[in-house]
Amino acid sequence: NIDVSALVDAEGGLIDRSIYTDPGIYDQEMRRIFARSWLFLAHASQFKKPGDFFTTFMGQDPVIVTMDKTKTIRAYLNSCRHRGMRLCRADAGATKMFTCTYHGWSFDLAGALQTVPNEKAYPEDFDKKQWGLIEVPRVAEYKGLLFGNWDKDAEDLEETLGDMRYYLDAMLDRDPEGTEVIGGVMKWELEGNWKLAAEQFATDWYHVNMSHASALMVMSPTGKGPKAEIVATPGRQFLSPNGHGAGFPTHPKSRFDAQAVHEHYDYDALRERLGDAAVEGPMTTGHATVFPSFSYLPVNGSIRIWHPKGPNKIEVWAWILVDKSMPEDVKDAQRLYNLRTFGPSGIFEADDGENWSEIQAVSGGFVTNSVPLNFQMGIGSEREDGVYPGQTSELYSDAAGRSFYRHWAELMNTPAWHERPAPAPAGESA
Ligand code: FES
């Protein structure tokens, strides 16, 4: 294991860029970050009846997420117990059994091995019960978002989210009926390390006016440039000891969304439901990351996961989230606005992907890798502001970035569940 203490100076705001490029660090992230963190799996609205399934990844481990006969959502390693074939080869669908296309072993919705062709040729003590699917031990939901964790002793999802729940609620709890996802899952690849994207969504409002200048000009009603109130308005950044982060302007007019969606909302009712501060803050044009790799944009309902595919590559999977009770035309307006702005070819999305890919492309050199990166904006500004839950900083700040990497380094330097010694057998004292 690599001791990353010298690579992350969260107090001083200095990050060694080898954390984006070193294959050894990446391997350790799979073991000590992704194998022990709550990872976004899917949205609950993707599962309506027993047998509905969706295939995704936890880190680089492929998983099947499905609804069993009792309507419980369960997740299994998507690899056959026989010789390791990818068990389910579809992106999503509905089934009664998962049958492996290599030799035909079949598993039911509870993960139990049901049929083995030519079973009589196996030894007498071959026990199908021992060869069921490997189940993800913890699956939990927060207001429609389903997460899984390989650590059976992990802190509960809600505790891990902590104050982040308030910021999530500004997107997930606007509608008493909750949310749903519409359309398919958009998937695209980027050259870049997964942390570049996750960190930006946690902490980086700073890039908006520069990176997105031309996009903001196109979106501007006057055609003259970014909306003055977006550029000038104050805001907040939330930082969490568990590495989550969110940033948002604090001004009720700082919405930059589809007109039909804006007109749909009854803002008085929303203020009653969520509170004034949530409507004027995290419900506006903000950004957020739930550590390590789930990010979202409340104003256009873009929820996404940054799937790591090696130190230099990300697969982005993005969904369009809408309030369930929105009329169909409003949902469609949200969908179109989402695609125009943050879909795979959205005018903002393209700017961000370009930044991450370029950073990665120039990070491989020996000299380049010996120069630290700067996360010093807003050092010392972290405080409890009395309005927004948890620690906050200014909108233009790297505070949530520093806490993202502080938590990242803590996990990287701490043995995970699979490294702990097995408990002593009963009767033996330590
Ligand atoms: Fe699945 Fe053989 S690998 S049945």
Tokens of 245: 């982060």
| Given the residues 43, 212, 287, 407, the one annotated as active site | 212
Task: Please name the helix (run of DSSP H) or strand (run of DSSP E) that holds residue 313, with its range, or none.
Answer: strand 313-323
C-beta separation of 107 from 87 below 8 A: yes
Contacts of 127 (CB under 8 A, 6+ apart): none
CATH code linked to domain 39-140: 2.102.10.10
| CA separation for the pair 270, 298 (Å, rounded) | 14
C-beta separation of 113 from 81 below 8 A: yes
Sequence-ordered strand ranges (E) for 35-178 = 39-43, 52-58, 61-67, 73-77, 92-94, 97-99, 106-108, 113-115, 138-142, 145-149
Spell out which residues line ligand 1, taking CB within 6 angstroms: 80, 82-83, 85, 100, 102-105
What are phi and psi for residue 211, nearest 5 degrees? -60, -40
Determine which residue's CA is closest to atom 3 belonging to ligand 1.
83
DSSP 8-state code for residue 422: P
- What pLDDT score was predicted for residue 210? 87
| Given the residues 22, 204, 257, 398, the one annotated as active site | 204
Measured in Å, residue 134 CA sits from the centre of ligand 1 at: 14
**Per residue in 315-333, pLDDT tens?**
999 999 999 999 999 999 9
Determine which residue's CA is closest to atom 2 belonging to ligand 1.
103
| CA separation for the pair 282, 226 (Å, rounded) | 20
- What pLDDT score was predicted for residue 214? 84
212 noted as active-site residue: yes
- What pLDDT score was predicted for residue 430? 42
Domain regions of the chain by residue span: 39-140, 162-412
| Given the residues 91, 153, 156, 207, the one annotated as active site | 207
What are phi and psi for residue 14, nearest 5 degrees? -125, 130
Index of the ligand 1 atom closest to the CA of residue 83: 3
407 noted as active-site residue: no
262 noted as active-site residue: no
- CA 19 to chain centroid, in Å, comes to 19
CATH code linked to domain 162-412: 3.90.380.10
- What pLDDT score was predicted for residue 255? 56
Tens-level pLDDT at each residue, the chain (430 residues) = 999 999 999 999 999 999 999 999 999 999 999 999 999 999 999 999 999 999 999 999 999 999 999 999 999 999 999 999 999 999 999 999 999 999 999 999 999 999 999 999 999 999 999 999 999 999 999 999 999 999 999 999 999 999 999 999 999 999 999 999 999 999 999 999 999 999 999 999 999 888 888 888 777 666 666 655 455 668 999 999 999 999 998 875 555 667 888 889 999 999 999 999 999 899 888 899 999 999 999 988 999 999 999 999 999 999 999 999 999 999 999 999 999 999 998 989 989 999 999 999 999 888 998 899 999 999 999 999 999 999 999 999 999 999 999 999 999 999 999 998 777 776 654 4
Measured in Å, residue 57 CA sits from the centre of ligand 1 at: 20
| CA separation for the pair 23, 29 (Å, rounded) | 10
153 noted as active-site residue: no
List the alpha helices (DSSP H) in 103-246: 157-161, 164-172, 194-203, 208-211, 213-219, 228-232
77, 82, 128: residue to mutate for ligand 1 pocket, most atoms within 8 A of CB: 82
Residue corresponding to tokens 């330590």: 430
- Measured CA to CA in angstroms, residue 413 lies from 4, 25, 31, 230, 388 at distances of 7, 11, 11, 40, 31
Type of residue at 261? V
64, 77, 80, 107: residue to mutate for ligand 1 pocket, most atoms within 8 A of CB: 80
* Structure ipTM: 1.00
103 noted as active-site residue: yes
Which of 201, 200, 179, 192 lies closest to 296 in space, CA to CA?
A: 201
Measured in Å, residue 106 CA sits from the centre of ligand 1 at: 9
Contacts of 71 (CB under 8 A, 6+ apart): 50
76, 78, 83: residue to mutate for ligand 1 pocket, most atoms within 8 A of CB: 83
Index of the ligand 1 atom closest to the CA of residue 85: 3
Measured in Å, residue 76 CA sits from the centre of ligand 1 at: 16
89, 103, 128: residue to mutate for ligand 1 pocket, most atoms within 8 A of CB: 103
Measured in Å, residue 381 CA sits from the centre of ligand 1 at: 56
Render 5-28 in DSSP notation, one character per residue. GGGEETTTTEE-THHHH-HHHHHH
